[in-house]
């Protein structure tokens, strides 16, 4: 396996100016090493992958240097526009090294949402005309980084390294986690499910949150009726908005995460402007990208309540404990929405946390049945 330090040193030796991106589980050790090692101001955990490409462009304009932008391959969707319309050699010709975790690589078992993305990732890069090189556990860091920078020098445009599973050796971050609350996320989710009504339509965010919701339902002997957003990070509240508009007689409970909300924060003023009275937007805030290594977000330094209220939400309530959650929930229930209920939790999850045993299509059909949608309605 590749030592993250050796890989980082190879990048530094070639004068990388900035590191920016969105954490990925396959890159977690590399990202943690960069976060621990890069000097202040040279590592930015971006809101989304396109944001990171734009930051890299700006830094190049100011310094002439090459930046590294890291992401999971699912984040290529967010990055396509700035890669094609800004960084491309036919536009602003920006030298950027993309380091991409290859989830769903053909022949490697993975979760359903990663399978197609993994299959089409090389084709996406080819379509974007971004040269790419594979990185495996056997890859020599000096060789592959050298090849990438030679190509960057020749094209003055983006080049990608596609990182396969288990390419990097283990490295654990030395950063102390932010502790916003002593309440665990799974504990908070249990209380939230207690507070919801049986006819509520629940939409939960990607990552460990939906996995915990699935297991909690099974443990409680309740039917699997929630929409588990297993992919599409950042789009949970938009899905919930569509549900709320489509079924205004039922309450819709959106269970979101801080990294997800920040990734596409523009959805918040859209939610607020439409003012769906039946939407309760629950934000589980642990100030971390929990599902891909626990790297920090900026959610501990942002007044999310003020953002929601300024965006047209009818109310905001915050909870740091089970008792406060009950108070906040009752306050949110007392008025028409949209309401934001921020639930502050600590990072961490059970080591034996499983994954949904139903397929995404089965999950979709169960949710629609709970919503009262029949075959003739589809």
What's the pLDDT score for residue 176?
Answer: 81
Is the model's pLDDT at 284 over the cut of 90? yes
> How far is CA 77 from its chain centroid?
12
Q: Judge whether 185 and 255 are in contact, CB under 8 Å.
A: no
d(C-alpha 341, C-alpha 317), whole Å: 5
139-164 pLDDT tens trace: 999 999 999 999 999 999 999 999 99
What's the pLDDT score for residue 144?
Answer: 98
Bridge partners (DSSP) of residue 133 are 161
291-335 pLDDT tens trace: 777 788 999 999 999 999 999 999 999 999 999 999 999 999 999
d(C-alpha 374, C-alpha 362), whole Å: 14
d(C-alpha 285, C-alpha 342), whole Å: 7
What's the pLDDT score for residue 140?
Answer: 97
Q: Indicate the average pLDDT of the chain.
A: 94
56-93 pLDDT tens trace: 999 999 999 999 999 999 999 999 999 999 999 999 99
Q: Mind listing the domains of the chain with CATH numbers? A: 4-163 (3.40.50.970), 185-377 (3.40.50.970)
194-251 pLDDT tens trace: 999 999 999 999 989 999 999 999 999 999 999 999 889 999 999 999 999 999 999 9
Sheet holding 227-228, edge to edge: 227-228, 201-204, 252-257, 279-285, 339-344, 315-319
4-55 pLDDT tens trace: 999 999 999 999 999 999 999 999 999 999 999 999 899 999 999 999 999 9
């Amino acid at each position: 396996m590749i030592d993250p330090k050796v890989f980082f040193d190879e990048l530094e030796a070639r004068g990388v100016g900035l590191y920016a991106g969105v954490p990925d589980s396959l890159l977690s050790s590399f990202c943690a090493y960069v976060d621990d090692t890069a000097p202040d101001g040279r590592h930015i955990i971006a809101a989304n992958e396109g944001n990171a490409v734009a930051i890299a462009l700006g830094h190049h304009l100011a310094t002439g240097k090459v930046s590294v932008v890291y992401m999971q391959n699912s984040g290529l969707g967010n990055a396509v526009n700035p890669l094609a319309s800004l960084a491309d050699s036919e536009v602003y010709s920006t030298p950027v090294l993309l380091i991409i975790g290859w989830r769903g690589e053909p022949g490697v078992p993975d979760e359903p949402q990663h399978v197609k993305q993994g299959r089409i990732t090389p084709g996406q890069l080819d379509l974007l005309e971004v040269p790419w090189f594979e990185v495996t556990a056997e890859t020599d860091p000096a060789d592959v980084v050298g090849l990438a920078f030679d190509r960057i020098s020749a094209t003055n445009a983006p080049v990608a390294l596609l990182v396969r599973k288990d390419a990097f050796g283990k490295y654990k971050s030395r950063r102390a986690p932010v502790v916003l609350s002593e309440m665990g996320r799974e504990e908070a989710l249990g209380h939230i499910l207690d507070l919801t009504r049986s006819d509520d339509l629940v939409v939960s965010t990607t990552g460990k949150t939906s996995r915990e919701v699935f297991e909690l339902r099974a443990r409680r002997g309740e039917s699997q009726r929630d929409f588990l957003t297993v992919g599409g990070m950042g789009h949970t509240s938009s899905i919930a908005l569509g549900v709320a508009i489509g079924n205004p007689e039922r309450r819709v409970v959106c269970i979101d995460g801080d990294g997800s909300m920040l990734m596409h924060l523009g959805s918040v003023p859209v939610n607020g402007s439409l003012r769906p009275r039946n939407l309760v937007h629950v934000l589980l805030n642990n100030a971390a990208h929990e599902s891909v290594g626990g790297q920090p977000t900026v959610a501990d330094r942002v007044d999310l309540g003020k953002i929601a209220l300024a965006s047209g939400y009818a109310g905001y309530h915050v909870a740091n404990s089970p008792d406060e959650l009950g108070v906040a929930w009752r306050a949110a229930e007392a008025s028409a929405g949209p309401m934001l209920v921020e639930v502050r939790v600590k990072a961490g999850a059970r080591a034996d946390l499983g994954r949904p045993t139903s397929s995404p299509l089965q999950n979709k059909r169960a949710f629609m049945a709970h919503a009262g949608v029949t075959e003739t309605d589809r």
